[in-house]
Structure 1
Amino acid sequence: MDWSADILGTDFQSCGIDAAGSDGVVRQATLIRHRTARDQGTDAPPTPTERNGAVLFLHGWSDYFFNAELATFWTGLGYDFYALDMHNHGRSLQSGTPGGYVANLADYDAEINRALEVIHHDRAAPPAVTMTLMGHSTGGLVAALWAARHPGKVDFLVLDSPWLEMHGSSLVRRAAHAMVAPIAKVRPETVLRLPERGFYFRSISSTAEGEWLLDEKYRPPLAFPVRAGWLSAVFAGHSQVARGLGLDIPVLVLTSSASANGMAWQESMRRSDAVLDVGVIALRAMALGRTVTLERIDGGLHDVFLSAPDVRQDAYSRLARWVHGYMQATMPAHRREGDT
């Protein structure tokens, strides 16, 4: 692959990947890797004292990968870190295409599969090391559904505030889906006129009241327009989660301990999830599989790893505890047997 310097600077490189979906459409995505300064100038994979495996991160909707601190956390534990800017998002945006749009969440499968192939080749890894898929928000939903459709392809799943259900309950989702479905079937790219709120962006962006430097062409303050086909695809994903995914790998779900909703700014939005209903997300998390750990982060934002420094330190500590307890203490049986 042709890796080049990435927008995140010295320790990051990226490459474009093309993947043909089951519908025959070739879509473009961008794979990002974290390589420290000592690994620059060589195609060889990094060699920390213990190379425990690799992590692939999937961003949320209307978002892209920018959290260098998250990459440093994983590489510090001996994992090779990669992130994927999925098609119609971030580094993969193309003129003339609707930002953030997908008509079926399974359309992401081909680029995730291709990214894993590139990672395996890039690392030249032995079969004894593990593969972890991590996703945030809609990326968490995509990751969980992908893992259910591709058993045995990854060993662990880490979800950061995954969008597993609508606010309130499945009844709300069913009612909304019934209204959206006819439009999605006939005119899937129709923009739905929904209330626009920029509260979460306000809490994280350094151009507002947050600490994170965001590229607004990749992560717009009011997000991309909501289109009928995309929303219908998300509802379909929620329905699958509600029926149970039956995952047989360990799953970690991290969320804020509180939500803040409403059409007006509230100071509580600085220390809560201003996007999702964390109560219903916690409930739906139990439908993911047999081994699910739920961590509730006091003061956490929608992306708990973008929270205030003391809060995200707590989130990282809880993630590290899970990594040591599950990922590093338990090697999957099929890996021990030498299968790939």
Structure 2
Amino acid sequence: MSTPIGQQWTLINDHEDLLGADFRARTFTFPGPKSSVHTTLINHLGNPNAERAILYIHGYTDYFFQTGLANYFIDQNYRFYAMDLQGYGRSIRPTTPPNWCDSIEQYGQDLDIALITMKQEGVNEVIILAHSTGGLIVSTYLAQPYAPKERESHYKKSFPDVIGLILNSPFLALPFPPEVLNKVSWPIRILVSLLPFSYLRAKKISLYAKSIHKKFGGQWDYRLDWKPAEGFPLAFKWLKEVILAQRNLAKHPLSIPTLMCHATKTTIGKLTIEETQQGDGVLDVDSMLEAAQKTFSNLTTAAIDNGFHDLYLSKPEAQAYYLDSIHDWLTRFHAPDTTSPSSEKITPPDEA
């Protein structure tokens, strides 16, 4: 479960971020499941008086490096914050295995720290933007009885209102087509439960990594020690907790206004970089959509043609449509209304 709100954390570092003078990084430490852990809050210094902000949460084997994404929201008059969760990126420490997870819910403490800090700095409304596993983490957090909107009145003043959720290819289902997922989910769950301390180690660089990093012909330059091209060893314990979180989330629907952006098709198993770049090379789009429709009662979806798994890292045309989809949704955005659940779809310009 999330660490209780009364639990103390300590700010141990506050300095200019590695992304440059426009960014500030603060590292906090607090008791983790086995030892002290760290989490890092990064924020762009623009729009310091704005009361509405974006909070970005990264995915698995990932960290925040997308300065253009921050600048995009700054230009839209939002404040912008991002996190490197415990065990990821700026928050990796020798005593904490990268990406190790005892429970998806453990990241509730990281989110508490971010939201309370933002409130202290004058942010009153937050829209959370989350990618891949970050989407599962945030959705789980918001679905729990200890989420900010459900706090005891004594603590409500400590949190800004989380008024919207934007999901970038969220990890709401295992990467199999729906008809296959129904058959393999239980055997996988049994396997990872029987072998919790086992790992899968990739023997080569994934085509997805080759499609995005400059070293392999992609467009992006980021730290390969924090986001390795072959990935960190995949712990069965982590996979078990993901499966449990996905199953639990399906039982606790969310009414928060939600935009889910996704590629138009899945390209898992393709043999070339060019084929992989035509869609999501990590997750199955159909299973993702099916899970989202069960989980979010106020859901808007946007399909991005030629979008990568991380839609912001797509080629310029797809990235532009992804950002336009977010802008269109935010422009029509209103305060949450749980009395009239809805579902809609943003249509690509050539289909309108």
TM-score between both structures, scaled by the size of structure 1: 0.86
Structure 2 counterpart of 1:33, one-letter code: N
Q: Which residue of 2 aligns with 1:165?
A: 173
1:266 offset after TM fit, Å? 4.8
Percent of aligned positions that are identical: 28
Deviation at 1:69, TM superposition (A): 1.1
SS in 1 for 2:74: helix
Residue identity matched to 1:211? Q
Indicate the residue corresponding to 1:124 in structure 2.
122
Residue of 177, 197, 211 corresponding to 2:189: 177
* SS of equivalent to 1:207: helix
Tell me, yes or no, if structure 1 residue 143 matches structure 2 residue 138: yes
Q: Residues 115-173 of structure 1, C-alpha deviation per residue, up to 9 Å, x if partnerless?
A: 1111111x224xxx421111101111111111111162521111100011011224322
For 2:6, the equivalent position in structure 1 comes to: none
Distance of aligned partners of 1:52 and 1:325 in 2 relative to their CA distance in 1, 3 Å threshold: farther
The answer to whether the 8 A contact 1:244-1:289 is kept is no
Cross-structure match for 2:44: 34
Higher deviation after alignment, 63-72 or 169-178: 169-178
Cross-structure match for 2:344: none
For residue 41 of structure 1, what is the aligned residue in structure 2? none
Which structure 1 residue ranges, 4+ long, deviate > 6 Å from structure 2? Answer: none
In the alignment, what sits opposite 2:71? Answer: 72
Q: Which amino acid aligns with 1:11?
A: D
Q: Could you say what the CA RMSD is over the residues aligned between the two structures, in angstroms?
A: 2.0
* 1:290-301 equivalent positions in 2, closer than 5 A: 290-301=297-308
Aligned pair partner of 2:227 in 210, 219, 227: 219
Structure 1, unmatched stretches of 5+, are 37-44, 335-340
Aligned to 1:338: none
1:196 Cα offset (Å): 5.1
Q: Distance in 2 between matches of 1:117 and 1:151?
A: 10
Distance 1:293 1:7, change over 3 A: same
Q: Is the 8 A contact 2:208 2:273 kept in 1?
A: no
For residue 54 of structure 2, what is the aligned residue in structure 1?
Answer: 55
- In structure 2, do the counterparts of structure 1 residues 223 and 194 end up closer, same or farther at CA, with 3 Å as the change threshold? closer
Structure 1 70/333 Cα, relative in aligned 2: closer, same or farther at 3 Å?
A: same
Question: Are residue 83 (structure 1) and residue 93 (structure 2) matched?
Answer: no
Provide TM-score, normalisation by structure 2.
0.83
Query: Would you say how many aligned residue pairs link Structure 1 and Structure 2?
Result: 310
- Counterpart for residue 335 of structure 2: 331
Higher relative contact order (CA 8 A, sep 6+): 1
**5+ long unaligned stretches in structure 2:** 1-10, 150-160, 339-352
Residues 300 and 165 from structure 1, CA distance in 2 versus in 1: closer, same or farther, beyond 3 angstroms? same
Relative to its length, the structure with more strand (as a share) is 2
1-structure distance, mates of 2:271, 2:337: 51
What is the alpha-carbon distance in structure 1 between the residues aligned to residue 204 and residue 193 of structure 2? 21
2:216 alignment counterpart: 208
1:284 and 2:279 aligned: no
Q: How do residues 248-267 of structure 1 correspond to structure 2 at under 5 angstroms?
A: 248-262=255-269, 264-267=271-274
CA distance in 2, matches of 1:78, 1:182: 50
Structure 1 CA distance, aligned partners of 2:54 and 2:295?
20
